[in-house]
Structure 1
Amino acid sequence: MVFSRPWRALATGLAFLLVSMSPARAVELVVEVDGLSGDLEKNVRATLGILQENAERMSESRLRRLHLQAEADIEQALRPFGYYTPRIDSALTPRQAGWLARYRIDPGEPVRIADVAVRLAGAGQNDPALRKVAESFPLKSGDVADHRRYEEGKTRLRRRALSNGYLDADFDPAELRIDPAAGQAEILLTLNTGQRYRFGPVSLEQDILRPQFLTRFIPFAPGDDYEIRKLLDLQYVLDDTEYFSRVEVIPHPEQAVDGAVPIEVALDPNKRHKYTFGIGYGTDTGPRGTLGWDNRRVNSLGHRWRSQLKLAQVDASAQFSYLIPIDNPATDSLDLNGGLRETNVEDRTSRITSIGVARTDRDAPWMRILRINLEHERFQLDGSDEEETILSLLPGANWTYTRADDPLYPRDGLRWSVDFLAGVSPDATPYGQALMETRWVHPAGSRGRWILRQQSGATVADTLSDVPLSKRFFAGGDNSVRGYDYQELGSRNEAGLVQGGRYLVTASAEFEQLLWRQWGAAVFVDAGNAFDDTEMDLKTAAGLGLRWRSPVGPLKLDVAQPLDEPDAGWRLHLSLGSEL
């Protein structure tokens, strides 16, 4: 049968309509990308449209259209990495089980930076911090024209401008000009900083503390250059006071007048009273428990009260502190303190009643404490005829330096402290004492660390009996010479009882390796002793340990053997706490 031309056109249209209305046959698809690796391959695969759709729901016609689009997708995916002239060999071939889409890619030579012009304009054009960032722009002449590094440099420069108070900073122009034929690129970048804003008035929205006291926490004054870092410092320091349950520092640049930005500080009061309770166990102390009561704000001047009751097998105490913020209230305080303490260690006991005052000044990483205490101590060694009593006035000073990359689990850190003490008593001749402690943590490989510590102390006194028992040196225990019991080491009296010493030397070297998740192991050697003359009789012990990185700090289980006493058994040590 022969159709006329109009009927032939109608038949062709109906056939196409029937084909397009027929159900699409599922496609089984394998896509191969050859010639690339690393980020280039990842970005190509993430950009290829043929890989972004579900092959099981894709018709053959849709597959062919996506294959035709693939070369454009690949070119687009390579450009951010500086490749503008790739050679692409693509093929779509049927297989028994479906289709194979193969793309062989030669990215070609990358476009390289021929010239970099990063300029500053506006009030911040001579700002040293901005100039430093501009001069360290991550792309230099001869580098591959990597769009990611270009955007990184822009972001870093603008972020620094905003942090330094140039709140209107913007780029004009910001161009990465590419000439694929020449294989060259040019960067034209000008940051117009606009004016530099200043801090305006600060409103503290609270009614529990005197405004005159609270404003002493603010690390800037109206008229100072606006810096985001100082706003963060204010947020952190108010959080740390514990006066408030919520601290929100809100700048209002939209309300700025003549470049002065008003600052709003929204504060919700914290609960006045804080109660704490804890139980634990350590081989030095045995079972222990603590009860604490703090009054976070005694009055509108920010004074605090802290008290704690501690009960342990070898040590029981009741202590109080009345803290008065001074000078910089975030870091400096005057501490009026006192308490009772009783110590029972094997063959000796000590009971102390004390009252004192201390001044603490913190200027990270340093801390300084100046103190003076009045202590009444009664102590006795087993077998002695009577209890000794010494009333002492004890002025002292302490300096501590601390740095750590992590407060709970440092891999690189140092803690060094030196303490000076003088004792003046109507019951004994005066004495002086110095104690230095060092703890050093250093990384060893990706999962190990070295932990070194030392103590050295000396007391200048006519005789040991002039020094109260609590001020004498002892060694042995979890944080001293493991393998020996708590304060087991020291000079002995005529009855053979440990009475402490005027001198102290201890040292420890430990290697710790993280093995699996939060679990690790350690090997260590400790040495030291406390003695009453210049002849040192150092005791040495070695052992192994198990470590668990708990949420509250490292839990350490050690077994140690004294090397000087081969017949002595292994001693177990259990402790919790950071090395620094």
Structure 2
Amino acid sequence: MVRVASNGVRAACLGLAVAVAGLAAQAQVRVGAVQVDGNQRIPDSTIVSLLGIQPGASATDGQINDGLQRIMGSGLFETADVQTTGSGLVVTVVERPTINRISIEGNERITDEALLPVVTSTPRRVYSPQAAATDAAAIADAYNAAARLSATVTPKIIRRSDNRVDLIFEIGEGRPVENERISFVGNRDFSDRRLRRVIDTKQAGFLRTIIGRDTYVPERIDFDRQLLTDFYRSRGYVDFQVLNVASELSRERDATFITFNVREGQSFDVGQVSVSSEYANLNVEAYRRALRIRPGQTWSPSLIDENIARLERKALQDGFDFLRVDPRVTRNDRDLSLNVEFALVRGPRVFVERIDIEGNRTTLDRVIRRQFDTVEGDPFNPREIRNAAERIRALGFFSNADVETREGSSADQVVVDVNVEEQATGSLSFGGSFNDESGFALLIGFSERNFLGRGQSLSFNLESGTENSRSTFSFAEPAFLGRDLTFGLRLAYITSDYDNATYDTTVASISPSLSFPVSENGRLTLRYEAAREEIVDVSTDASPIIQAEEGDLFRSSLGYDYTLDLLRGGLNPNRGVRVSFGQEFAGLGGDVEYVKSSVRGVAQRDFLNEEVTLRAIFEGGTISSIGDGGTRVTDRYFLNSRQLRGFASREVGPRDTGAAEPEVLGGNNFASLRFEADFPLGLPEEYGLSGGVFADFASLWGLDDTAGVATVDDSFELRSAVGFSLYWTTPIGPLKMNFAKPIQKNDLDVEKSFDLTISTQF
């Protein structure tokens, strides 16, 4: 039975095949001619070519259908049809219209100039619905990047004569998506408030309509993950992880709730530190002495990297070109410490074949190349390449900078590829300001950080105030003579007309300078200054001391400044110190001779899991005249309200009480010591408010010559004040409001219980 059934099926299949073959044979037609109807712009030959069937040939129904699909697939036609006739084929088409113009409607937040570049459809080309849909999606992506996730983009066409259409993208912008709440889960040692200061994404605040960073940008989240990781790792939390980041949209799609789920782990300290070597002729003890790491320090990757770089630099100096430092870490969970062995090992003998730079349209190659300590032909050191990449990004010239390596022409050669995307580096600013010394002022400024693509900085500022005006021009070349040597040039023209002074001043100066590093965190600046100083419009009621100084003098001086900065560049994130000292020697020609010395120091420490910051600032200076001439009011010191809160600027110090209009004469010596503590107020963070308390101590004293005026007291007299500060984070900067109460004062001092300034970083 099985065999019989099989034979029956086989016979049926054979019959079906014969029938299909017969139909296929019948479906073939001989094409005598191909006629094209309906086309206006597109030639007949183009359509026949797309059909793929030439006159005189035979074609099946399948071949005709394939040709029809090719015609439609060209995107040139709205409809197409192929009919057979007794004499051949007739192809009837309706051409797609051409685009007359493209416009965008309904956009207010993003300009046409910003949106049109993402549109691929162009006028005078054939309109394609698929391309228009792709363009609409690209415009929607631009709105998503601007935190308007609810934006809609609808492409529409308006038909015109001659088979043309206007392509219109109608936009419904919707509301921006704000970060309504940013919270953290799993953090025990650091509060949500502290961690929110670490990340770049900001929570919607009191001034949400002005502040831009409180909007939701998905691409920023990855950067925030890295910022959190760097924050914790630098504080010894070697096991820290961002497990996930959840972003939830509100029902109205105008707000997000972002939650960072983290795992802190424990904070580790540095345990035992040792050095080992594979080189028999290497003095291990000398390398151990070169380390700047000690047991008990908080573990930090930057601390390890800094010491690795130190040892590798010493190896190069000692002639070990391919020495590499391998940090071998042993974990001690019992005492929460990490032992580290700096193993000096032989690295592979690989050289840098070349450094290829792409993407820089304006910036010269040499500006990027000088960020590398490595040049072609040098031994390849991956750590040096990574450091160079960080320096390139730190320039601020590029929106993106990628540095990668690949194998060169041979196995022992490496090619370094640098790909950059340039960004705007110039700015033109207009604004206003107010401070105690200049009063209200209008500001116009221009700056360029990458002048002509040479990496040079150039700036010009014009400030015109009620009490003084200032015009300054500055230029800096950061790689003078191809070295880490900064050449600077500053020109200034300053006039003053203080309400509390019986004289006016005019100072015109030019000052070239050279600055260079003298240690890892120390920098020395050498400067020269030539200035014409005038004291004019002296009132007849002024002090005899001021009257004796009236006139103009030429000053020629040479000076230096040394700065040791461990506040921002230090390895301990919770504490830091910055100290600067400088001197100026006037008398290299000119009419003025003196020695002027100044010092400034800042010490800062964070407490209570970095919620409270304690800070101490000391400033001091002294000027000593040389020869018979004394110091002038344009060279002496004055105390301002930043150095001594609770008192008006230029209203403290030696004063001629016998003059018709007693005024401060300035002093040859000053000292200012300020203690500050900053802390949160416990208010909702979106208000951007925090507080602080302070205590200031200062004095201004000493004159070379009182011109025989017995009514001048230039003795040392301490002033002090206490108060509290209110910090308010605003779009124009962190405002600082000081409320002060003088404690020690002179009856002639002018008090000032409140002042408002832009808070600065120390």
- Smaller-chain TM-score bracket: 0.5 to 0.7
1:375 alignment partner in structure 2: 531
Q: Is 1:137 aligned to 2:293, yes or no?
A: no
For 2:634, what is the secondary structure of its paired residue? Answer: helix
- 1:394 maps to 557
1:247 pairs with 2:401: yes
**Shift, 1:284, TM fit:** 5.1
Residue 47 of structure 1 is matched in structure 2 by none
Paired with 1:563 and 1:539, the residues of 2 have a C-alpha distance of: 7
Structure 2 match to 1:332: 485
Q: Which residue of 1 aligns with 2:678?
A: 512
**Is the partner of 1:235 in helix, strand or coil?**
helix
Counterparts in 2 of 1:471 and 1:236: CA distance versus 1, 3 Å: farther
Q: From the superposition, tell whether residues 426 and 566 of structure 1 become closer, same or farther in structure 2 (CA, over 3 Å).
A: closer
> Which of 392, 399, 412 is 1:238 aligned to?
392
Q: Verify: 1:323 aligned to 2:507, yes or no.
A: no
- Structure 1 residues 482 and 489: alpha-carbon distance in aligned structure 2, compared to 1, 3 A threshold: same
* 1:529 maps to 2:723: no
CA contact (8 A) 2:718 2:744 kept: no
TM-aligned CA deviation for residue 223 of structure 1: 4.2
Matching residue of 1:352: 507
The residue type equivalent to 2:515 in the other structure is: T
When residues 132 and 425 of structure 1 are mapped into structure 2, their CA distance, relative to the original with a 3 A threshold, is: closer
Q: Deviations over 1:392-446 (max 9, x none)?
A: 1121111112222599xx8522221111012228774511110111121122333
**Relative to 1, partners in 2 of residues 1:209 and 1:553: Cα closer, same or farther, differing over 3 Å?**
closer
In structure 2, give the amino acid aligned to 1:260: Q
Q: Which residue of 1 aligns with 2:633?
A: 469
**Which residue of structure 2 aligns with residue 556 of structure 1?**
736
Alignment of 1:186-335 (within 5 A): 195=348, 197-205=350-358, 206=360, 208=362, 211=365, 214-253=368-407, 255=408, 257-271=410-424, 273-283=426-436, 285-299=438-452, 302-327=455-480, 331-335=484-488
Pairing 1:38-187 to 2, within 5 Å after superposition? 133-134=327-328, 136-138=329-331
Assess, with a 3 A threshold, how the Cα gap between structure 1 residues 507 and 212 changes in structure 2: closer, same or farther: closer
TM-score normalised by length of structure 1: 0.61
Q: Secondary structure of the residue that 1:563 maps to in structure 2?
A: strand
Q: Match for 2:726: what amino acid?
A: L
Q: Which position in structure 1 is the counterpart of 2:27?
A: none
TM-score by length of 2: 0.48
Describe the shift of the 1:483–1:492 C-alpha distance in structure 2 as closer, same or farther (beyond 3 A): same
**Are the equivalent residues in 2 in contact too, given 1:285–1:314 (CA < 8 A)?**
yes
Secondary structure at the aligned position of 1:219 is classed as coil
Helix, strand or coil at the partner of 2:566: strand
Superposed counterparts of 1:356-435, under 5 Å: 356-362=511-517, 364-380=520-536, 382=539, 383-384=541-542, 387-405=550-568, 412-424=575-587, 428-435=591-598
What one-letter code is carried by the residue in structure 2 that aligns with 1:505?
A
Moved more, 505-514 or 328-337: 328-337
1:492 has 2:686 as partner? no
User: Can you list the C-alpha shifts for 1:464-495, whole angstroms capped at 9, x where unaligned?
Assistant: 97434332111141x21111111221212352
Q: Identity of paired residues, percent?
A: 17
Measure, in 1, the Cα distance between the counterparts of 2:733 and 2:481: 30
AA at the equivalent of 2:613: R
Per-residue deviation, 1:236:
3.2
Whether the 8 Å CA contact 2:624–2:631 is kept in 1: the answer is no
Structure 1: segments with no counterpart, 5+ residues: 1-37, 40-119, 167-192
Once the two structures are superposed, residues 116-144 of structure 1 have per-residue CA deviations (whole angstroms, 9 ceiling, x without a partner) of xxxx9x99xx999688633x23269xx89
Name the aligned partner's letter for residue 360 of structure 1. Answer: S
SS at match of 2:388: helix
> Closer, same or farther in 2 for the Cα pair 1:511/1:302, shift >3 Å?
closer
- Aligned partners of 2:399, 2:591: CA distance in 1, in Å? 51
C-alpha deviation, 1:243, in angstroms: 4.8
Distance change (3 Å), C-alpha of 1:355 and 1:200 = same
Q: CA deviation at 1:514?
A: 2.2
Q: CA deviation at 1:553?
A: 5.9
One-letter code aligned to 1:571? S
Q: Which residue of 1 aligns with 2:117?
A: none
Residue type of the alignment partner of 1:372: Y
Q: Secondary structure at the match of 1:338?
A: strand
Q: Is this contact kept in 1: 2:639–2:700, CA < 8 A?
A: yes
Q: Which residue of 1 is the match for residue 612 of structure 2?
A: 448
Structure 1 pair 318–448 and aligned structure 2 pair: CA distance change class (3 A): same
Q: Measure, in 2, the Cα distance between the counterparts of 1:427 and 1:371.
A: 16
Amino acid at match of 1:261: V
SS in 2 for 1:252: strand
Structure 1 residues 283, 375: CA separation in 2 closer, same or farther (over 3 Å shift)?
closer
- Judged with a 3 Å threshold, the aligned counterparts in structure 2 of structure 1 residues 310 and 463 are, in CA distance, closer, same or farther, namely farther
- Cα deviation 1:355-376 (Å, max 9, x = unaligned): 1211122465222211111101
User: C-alpha separation between the residues in 1 aligned to 2:332 and 2:607?
Assistant: 34
1:314·1:343 contact (CA, 8 Å) conserved in 2?
yes
Equivalent residues of 2:698, 2:720 under 8 A apart: yes
RMSD: 4.2
Q: Which amino acid aligns with 2:419?
A: A
- Worse-superposed segment, 231-240 or 545-554: 545-554
State the one-letter code of the partner of 2:723: G
- Are the counterparts in 1 of residues 558 and 588 from structure 2 also a CA contact under 8 Å? no
| Equivalent residue letter for 1:490 | G
Pick closer, same or farther for the CA change 1:329–1:546 going to 2, 3 Å.
Answer: farther
SS in 2 for 1:237: helix
- Match status 1:542 vs 2:706: no
Letter of the structure 2 residue corresponding to residue 423 of structure 1:
A
CA offset at residue 303 of structure 1? 4.5
Native 8 Å contact 1:405 1:412 kept in 2: no
The amino acid of 1:578's aligned partner reads: T
The separation in 1 between residues aligned to 2:386 and 2:481, in whole angstroms, is 17
Say whether the 8 Å CA contact 1:241–1:330 is kept in structure 2: no
Structure with a larger share of its residues in strand: 1
Separation of aligned partners in 2, 1:378 and 1:325: 33
Instruction: Identify the residue that residue 458 of structure 1 maps to in structure 2.
Output: 622
Asked if the contact 1:217–1:328 (Cα under 8 Å) also holds between the matched residues in 2, the reply is no
Partner Cα distance (1:463, 1:349) in 2: 26
Residues 488 and 268 of structure 1: is their aligned pair in 2 closer, same or farther, counting only changes over 3 Å? Answer: same
Q: Which residue of 1 aligns with 2:194?
A: none
Structure 1 position 244, deviation (Å): 4.5
Unaligned runs of 5+ in 2: 1-185, 188-275, 288-307, 309-323, 704-713
